[in-house]
Amino acid sequence: MPGSEFNIIQTFFTDLARSLSDWQGNSDIVLGIGDDCAIITPPDSQQLVVSIDTLISGVHFPEQTSPEAVAHKALAVNLSDLAAMGAEPAWFTLALTLPKADESWLTSFSSVLFKLAEEFNISLIGGDTTRGKLAITIQVAGYVPQGRALLRSGARAGDIIALTGPLGAASIGLDIVLGKNHNTYQCLSDKQQQAALLALNYPSPKIKEGLLLRDYAHAVLDLSDGLLSDLGHILKAGAVGANVFLEQLPLAESLQCLELEQAWERALTGGDDYQLCFTLDPEKWQQLKNIAPQFTAIGVITDTHELRLLNSSGELFQPRNGGYNHFE
Amino acid sequence: MPGSEFNIIQTFFTDLARSLSDWQGNSDIVLGIGDDCAIITPPDSQQLVVSIDTLISGVHFPEQTSPEAVAHKALAVNLSDLAAMGAEPAWFTLALTLPKADESWLTSFSSVLFKLAEEFNISLIGGDTTRGKLAITIQVAGYVPQGRALLRSGARAGDIIALTGPLGAASIGLDIVLGKNHNTYQCLSDKQQQAALLALNYPSPKIKEGLLLRDYAHAVLDLSDGLLSDLGHILKAGAVGANVFLEQLPLAESLQCLELEQAWERALTGGDDYQLCFTLDPEKWQQLKNIAPQFTAIGVITDTHELRLLNSSGELFQPRNGGYNHFE
């Protein structure tokens, strides 16, 4: 009776999800894929944090992107949202829209999806497969001790603004994939170009960093649309402003073909970096940077309600475009 | 800085979600839309049940379907999954893919979405808006007391098979929308045709019925792909068979233009009815039918591993096609 739609889910996801779940031994998952709903017993005194994101072929990734990269990115960007809340990954659901039931594509997609799920100890508990243009919607859930979730609100005047790592590599990776703006990557070695492509296609969710920040940060979010746009959310949520010091921006090695101002522009407006941006007390920053030397301070929160980009002479810098926007 | 994508979410969903949430006073929702994730404190000694479903324009509903009907159906089919588990609705997330940011469409869509959410006391806690062909992915979550969720497994030989209500109306509604198979609806009055369209576009999730069944049923699922296909899942999960008595099938009034065998065919294979199908002890059935006279027994579970469709002379009936399948 069950037709091919169910067979796809069965073959590519149910069995894999079960073996992963058995391996992980996540005792909160009472029932996974296979019934009308999954059943979860949330651990005592933990809050649940959830997020949903859709990636569409041709909008969020170029149409020629490999199934491996699509799988990695779809789960990674959702894990990144959990990281930004300081949450431990718990489980996810997958709604997959496919033009056709392509076994080879599904095998590649599912192998990387489950590899990443294993790495971050997150279980697939439910799914839906439909026919249409390639689109992947994942909802993730994670746990955080009662009252300990990190929010984007909470930035205070005087806070240091910091990042978990360098910016701009993914935007160069996108130039390479699309074969445009050759000048942004023509000076890079093959290996360096490969690194930019990896940054675009295989972003690394900052789960560990998010857990660390629970003890330090006032406000946190992950950078998906570009620093300018995303930092704007922190400022709006906290009703504060910021001075960002351009010379302090951690520039990815992939930006080295660019003039300094162009590199700043990329670091400020390039999307898909998935670093965490956070604010914290200056004293806490002194402690944190000893533990996490790869983190970089880039500015301070002010009470001006303005986002000012300053060079070392204190001059204002105006980038040519804002963050990425799907409807612009 | 935030572009129009964020404005859409802000205008049409965030504000509405907040006012609904305030009105509902659902104290488990600590933080709704607006941060990287929502935060929930699940109630003590309750399990969480979750399900995700995608509806795609042209696949799951005709492209000319109104935004009101799309909104209702997208949430209703997910609520129906909660009903099938015997769960109380709690919260949902929405991933909406739209060809363009059409304010009038969004106003209509959101008004019906929130109307249904209010009716079933479920809060929108997160979302994502992307550009592409119209598609709606909703993940719902509900609560059920520890160990009380209703599963599709659990049917036992000797169980009565029953339904919460009549079958087949939605399939006639689809004929009307598509203007095909005129003979299936030409004898219906305008009012009766309207009823068939309502069954298709505004299915009513059987949440109350699901809660009632917690005390009665061995196995439950909701009928989305057609009785034959979906009952097949119950049989497979329980490693049992069934005898279904065709004369007992509750036929929707919308099927009255059809010969009896055609009407059975529709009742057996028509999709989108969203009744619950369940099995239970014969003694329990005697109790339940006094409380819920609209429920109908349609057959019995057997130990044969076969699904047999029998007319009143005990002859086997073979429908021409199985359940609906997106990839067939």
- Could A37 and B81 be called an inter-chain contact, meaning their C-beta atoms sit closer than 8 Å? yes
Mean pLDDT of the residues in chain B: 89
Among A27-41, A191-205, B28-42, B56-70, top mean pLDDT goes to: A191-205
- β-bridge mates for residue A40, sequence order: A29, B48
Under the banding of pLDDT at 50, 70 and 90, the label for residue A323 is very low
Q: How far apart are CA B30 and CA B47, in angstroms?
A: 18
Strand ranges of the sheet holding B38-40, from the earlier edge strand across to the other edge:
A123-131, A88-98, A135-145, A46-56, B38-40, B29-31
Question: What is the rounded average pLDDT of the residues A54-80?
Answer: 93
Quick one: pLDDT at residue A326?
40
Q: What is the pLDDT of residue A288?
A: 97
Structure tokens belonging to residue B31: 């933080």
Q: What confidence tens digit (pLDDT) does each residue in B50-88 have? A: 999 899 998 888 888 999 999 999 999 999 999 999 999
Query: How confident is the model over B179-219, as pLDDT tens digits?
Result: 999 999 999 999 999 999 999 999 999 999 999 999 999 99
- What percent of chain A has a predicted confidence (pLDDT) above 90? 70
What is the spatial order of strands in the sheet that A307-310 belongs to? A219-222, A276-280, A160-163, A296-302, A241-245, A307-310
Widest distance between CA atoms in chain A = 73
Which of A229-243, B15-29, B232-246 is predicted least confidently? B15-29
Length, in residues, of chain B? 328
d(CA A257, CA A209): 29
Measured between alpha carbons, how far is B55 from B61 in angstroms, rounded to an integer? 7
Select the residue from B27, B31, B36 to test the A interface by mutation, using most A Cβ atoms within 10 A: B36
| Residues of chain B found within 8 Å of residue A325, distances taken between Cβ atoms | 3-5
Percent of chain A with pLDDT over 70: 91
Chain B residues in contact with A38 (beta carbon < 8 A):
49-51
A322 has pLDDT over 60? no
Closest Cα to residue A12, out of A97, A76, A102? Answer: A102
**Closest-CA residue of chain B to A126:** B51
DSSP-derived secondary structure for A169-193: HHHHHHHHHHT--GGGTTTS-HHHH
B151 contacts on A by Cβ (under 8 Å) = 31, 35
Between chain A and chain B, how many beta carbons pairs sit less than 8 Å apart? Answer: 238
Where residue A22 falls among pLDDT bands split at 50, 70, 90? low
Share of chain B above pLDDT 70, in %: 91
Q: Is the pTM of this model over 0.95?
A: no
Answer yes or no: do A327 and B101 touch at CB < 8 A.
yes
Helix %, strand %, coil % of chain A (to 5):
40, 25, 35
Q: Are A296 and A162 in contact (CB under 8 A)?
A: yes
Question: What is the rounded (10 degree) CA torsion for A282, A283, A287, A293?
Answer: 20
Closest CA to A213 of A140, A272, A121, A148: A148
Instruction: Closest CB to B49: pick one of A38, A149, A322.
Output: A38
Band of pLDDT at residue A325, cut at 50, 70 and 90: very low
* pLDDT of A4 strictly over 70: no
Band of pLDDT at residue A2, cut at 50, 70 and 90: very low
Q: Do A36 and B139 touch (CB under 8 A)?
A: no
Confidence label for B92 from pLDDT (cuts 50, 70 and 90)? very high
CB nearest A41 (choices: B47, B55, B56) = B47
The whole-angstrom distance between residue B65's C-alpha and the CA centroid of its chain comes to 18
Q: Say which residue, B317 or B328, is predicted with more confidence.
A: B317
Chain A residues whose CB is inside 8 A of the B236 CB are 2
Across the interface, whether the CB atoms of B142 and A37 are under 8 A apart is answered yes
Contact A130 B54 (CB under 8 A): yes
**Residues whose CB falls within 8 Å of the CB of residue A257, separated by 6 or more in sequence, listed in order:** A183, A184, A185, A186, A187, A188
Contact B228, B280 (CB under 8 A): no
Q: Are B239 and B154 in contact (CB under 8 A)?
A: no
Coil, strand, or helix at residue A144? strand
pLDDT tens column, B175-186: 999 999 999 999
**Which stretch of A72-76, B33-37, B50-54, B318-322 has the lowest confidence by average pLDDT?**
B318-322
* b/e code A248-258 from CB counts within 10 Å (16+ = b): ebbbbebbebb
* DSSP letters for A297-315: EEEEEESSS-EEEE-TTS-
The residue whose two tokens read 């690394």 is: A204
Q: What are residue A319's phi and psi, to 5 degrees?
A: -70, 155
Q: Which of B60, B124, B122 is nearest to B95 (CA)?
A: B124
Q: What ipTM does the predicted assembly reach? A: 0.79
Q: What is the arithmetic mean of pLDDT over A238-262? A: 96
DSSP letter (8 states) at residue B216: T
What pLDDT score was predicted for residue A26? Answer: 67
Q: Which of A92, A87, A61, A55 is nearest to A74 (CA)?
A: A55
- Domains located in chain B, CATH noted: 4-145 (3.30.1330.10), 160-310 (3.90.650.10)
Band of pLDDT at residue B239, cut at 50, 70 and 90 = very high
Of B37, B151, B307, which is closest to A82 when you measure between CB atoms? B37
Please give the mean pLDDT across all residues of chain A: 89
User: How far does A175 lie from chain B, in Å, by closest CA?
Assistant: 21
- The dihedral sign for the CA sequence A97, A101, A106, A109: negative
Query: Sign of torsion, CA B176 B179 B180 B182?
Result: positive
